[in-house]
Amino acid sequence: MTALITVSDDLTFALSNAHLSYVFRVSAEGILEHLHFGGALSDPLNVAVHHRRTIRHVASTFQGGKHYSLSDTPQEYPGFGTSDYRFPAVHGRNAHGNTIFSLHYKKHKIVKEKPRLKKLPSARGGESETLIITLQDRLHKLRVELYYTIWADHGVIARSAKFRNLGKQEIQLQHAFSSALDLPSGDYEIQHFHGTWAREFNEERIDLPQGRFVSDSARGTSSAAHNPYVAVLQKGATEDYGKCYGTTLLYSGNFAISVEKGEFEDARVLAGINPFNFHWRLKPGKNFCTPEALHAYSGEGLRKLSHHWHRFIRACVTPERFRDVPRPTYLNTWEAAYFDVDEDKVLDLADKAVEIGVDMLVLDDGWFEGRQDDTTSLGDWRADKARFPSGIPALAAKVKAKGLKFGIWFEPEMVNPRSQLFEKHPDWILHVPDRVSSLGRNQLTLDLSRSDVQDYLYNEIDAILSCGDVDYVKWDMNRNMTEVGSAALPRNRQRETSHRYMLGLYKLLDRLTTAYPDVLFENCASGGNRFDLGMLSYMPQGWISDMCDPIARLSIIGGASHLFPLDVTAAYIGPSPNHQNGRVTSVKTRFMAGVFCAARGVSLSEADIETHKDEVIDYMAFAKATADDMIGGTFDRVKKTANEVAWQYTTRDGSTIYLAYFHILSAPNLPFRRAHLVGLDPSADYHLEDSDENYRGDALMQSGMPMPQVAVGEKTPGVRYMDDGDFSSHLFVFRRADG
């Protein structure tokens, strides 16, 4: 393997592969100056840079340096108060009571084996190299190690920082960002994803304003309000044009990704733990590790950026055990029966699951002691004796005897005030003394920073999983945190609770997924309230939204697809009218919105299943037959207008191309529409299934494929139409002729 990281004698560092180069150097003052992040360079140690010692009449000069100012110097890990006025990566209080730290290069090393972060998820190494730069504040004996990892075949780099207090006095950390990236002056846009419950992943693009744009969370989860993913784009970037710089985090708690346009029009990207309300006491001799940040680069628009992310997340983030495993089709009891579940009902639904040909029955909420609605019982993870007299292990065995897999729902991090657990351990919740705790969905959050709480949850879940008949766990989390404080921490460490909660959660997840490597875990937080790479490091898939109306889900999946490969997503055919927005749609379109998700299923009542049985059987047969295809292929957004969406999915071997087309509202006299496919072999022939049509790859890409027409009423024979008027969908399947 050729070296991925090179260093010159005068301390210029380059991380470089076929997709990108990342270059920085040590200045005469010992400052890490950023030089380049972008397209791959064949001689990366030799980039043309501005003279940094230029007379600028307004800029402060750095610690006696002649004409050297940090105000206009792109840096790798900037601090505050030594001539840079932008928001800093590191900030805190030192033993003198002031906030001035000055970090200078001390040494570096390169390692082949990627170091795992202690107590936090981190991307797997594989063919990679990691550069570790040590910075030091000599006065306060604060050491910061910056970790940079580059992989041989990914357009992504990883960064994190590790603090170590080598002094004799405590240091209080307030900003401890994982990464800082100072992009040069330019005309940028920001792409980010915002939302709320059942409306996640709305894409917004805005011109980078003067000042600071921040996408963040102070809710205790990464949240649906702002997903921890922000891309800085060359203005006007499209799917296939423009320089794009994406940033995300392997973290599921309070995060911040900010982009600051400084006085010199540069763009500083900071990513890490949200400094708002964060405060960490670093005792002498102690370390603090930040979460890992990831940056991806594409010089050819958003499609390539997404491809980099998708390949990287599959290869280096989600659990390897399930990477290439087709997901089971399933029937989930939630929108089929809500809390109205008991053993007989579940076994009836299991029979229905067999009739419609799915692989797995998932028992959602409502199975544990006293849980008949959402006001009670979270925390008491034993089967309700009246409704589930045989208990969960026996029920699981009965379901499995029908030839199905068995899955079950937990919401481990929560407790209802009306529960045996809360009665016994009122101190086990996140709370502050002498204040009434605010509720969310009638529940309180357990204090996962405590090891006794972690152990309790491990034992409760283990008691059920150890029967050996549980194939799948849906791990839910249905509220944001309030009154965040821990009875187990001293007064002066209360503001560490949120991050310690995450460390506790990751520890618990690590224990459980290590003990049960074959159980498929699905991450859920009222849908997408914690849909991030931290959770996906432990769980191969996630429930992206409680919104199952297919039209609303188009923008949720389309938005999420900018970062996430769809093989981390699950979808089901839910009821119509939809229970969240009341929209009436066909079974077909309800299925099609999730057609490229890896895990596909149904959550319909027995009566609904009866009414639509033939269709449901057909779609579940299709889901089963294509389960392997939906793992590891390439997803592309090929069309998006106010009224249309088209997605392309190409299987791993390129032999099958699926093209899903959605037409939202019908209207008379619509124009003829086309979709242009991408990534095909230009000289191969592709056969359109269920037709006698064959097209050359270049024709499908350059000239495009005519989309079906939308018509109600009279139709011309031989013309391809959408089945419905409003909310219609169509799936094309092309097979490569020599495939």
Active site residues: 476, 546
| Cβ-based nearer residue to ligand GLA, 272 or 527 | 527
Which one of 200-208, 226-234, 394-402, 519-527 is the stretch in contact with ligand GLA (CB under 6 A)?
A: 519-527
Shortest Cβ 712–ligand GLA spacing (Å): 34
Write each residue from 464 to 503 as x if it is in contact with ligand GLA (CB under 6 A), else as -, in one continuous string: ------------x-x-------------------------
By CB under 6 A, name the one of 546, 549, 629, 636 that touches ligand GLA: 546
By CB under 6 A, name the one of 527, 540, 633, 697 that touches ligand GLA: 527
Of 96, 503, 86, 138, the closest CA to residue 259 belongs to 86
Of 493, 560, 553, 534, the closest CA to residue 221 belongs to 534
Question: Using CA atoms, how far apart are residues 405 and 411, in angstroms rounded to an integer?
Answer: 20
Shortest Cβ 528–ligand GLA spacing (Å): 9
Taking a C-beta distance cutoff of 8 angstroms, is the pair 237, 302 a contact?
yes
| Cβ-based nearer residue to ligand GLA, 410 or 516 | 410
Taking a C-beta distance cutoff of 8 angstroms, is the pair 601, 609 a contact?
no
Shortest Cβ 477–ligand GLA spacing (Å): 9
Q: What is the dihedral of CA 380, 386, 390, 392, to 10 degrees?
A: -30
Quick check: 447 binds ligand GLA (CB under 6 A)? no
Strands (E), 356-428: 360-363, 405-410, 414-415
What count of other Cβ atoms lies within 10 Å of the Cβ of residue 32? 23
By CB under 6 A, name the one of 334, 410, 472, 734 that touches ligand GLA: 334
Question: Using CA atoms, how far apart are residues 126 and 708, in angstroms rounded to an integer?
Answer: 45
| Cβ-based nearer residue to ligand GLA, 253 or 574 | 574
Question: Using CA atoms, how far apart are residues 71 and 88, in angstroms rounded to an integer?
Answer: 11
Quick check: 84 binds ligand GLA (CB under 6 A)? no
| Cβ-based nearer residue to ligand GLA, 84 or 546 | 546
Q: What one-character-per-residue DSSP string does 54-73 give?
A: ---SSSPPSTT-TT--STT-
Shortest Cβ 527–ligand GLA spacing (Å): 5
| Cβ-based nearer residue to ligand GLA, 364 or 532 | 364
What is the H or E stretch that residue 421 is in?
Answer: helix 420-424
Secondary structure (3-state) at 686: strand
Quick check: 365 binds ligand GLA (CB under 6 A)? yes
Taking a C-beta distance cutoff of 8 angstroms, is the pair 164, 138 a contact?
no
| CA distances from residue 621 to 74, 328, 625, 733 in whole angstroms, order as listed | 55, 11, 6, 16
Q: What tokens appear for 378 in the block?
A: 């979270």
CA 25 to chain centre: 32
Which one of 210-218, 274-282, 523-531, 560-568 is the stretch in contact with ligand GLA (CB under 6 A)?
A: 523-531
Q: What tokens appear for 193 in the block?
A: 């994803």
By CB under 6 A, name the one of 526, 555, 650, 651 that touches ligand GLA: 526
Shortest Cβ 408–ligand GLA spacing (Å): 11
Shortest Cβ 351–ligand GLA spacing (Å): 22
| Cβ-based nearer residue to ligand GLA, 516 or 543 | 543
Binding-site size for ligand GLA (CB under 6 A) equals 11
Q: What is the 3-state secondary structure (H, E, C) of 70-114?
A: CCCCCECCCCCCCCCCCCCCEEEECCCCCCCCCCEEEEEEEECCC
Question: Using CA atoms, how far apart are residues 406 and 367, in angstroms rounded to an integer?
Answer: 14
By CB under 6 A, name the one of 90, 524, 551, 571 that touches ligand GLA: 524
Amino acid code (one letter) for 324: D
Shortest Cβ 543–ligand GLA spacing (Å): 6
Write each residue from 393 to 412 as x if it is in contact with ligand GLA (CB under 6 A), else as -, in one continuous string: ----------------x---
By CB under 6 A, name the one of 33, 129, 364, 567 that touches ligand GLA: 364
Helices 451-465 and 497-515, packing angle to 10 deg:
30
Binding residues vs ligand GLA (CB under 6 A): 334, 364-365, 409, 476, 478, 524, 526-527, 543, 546
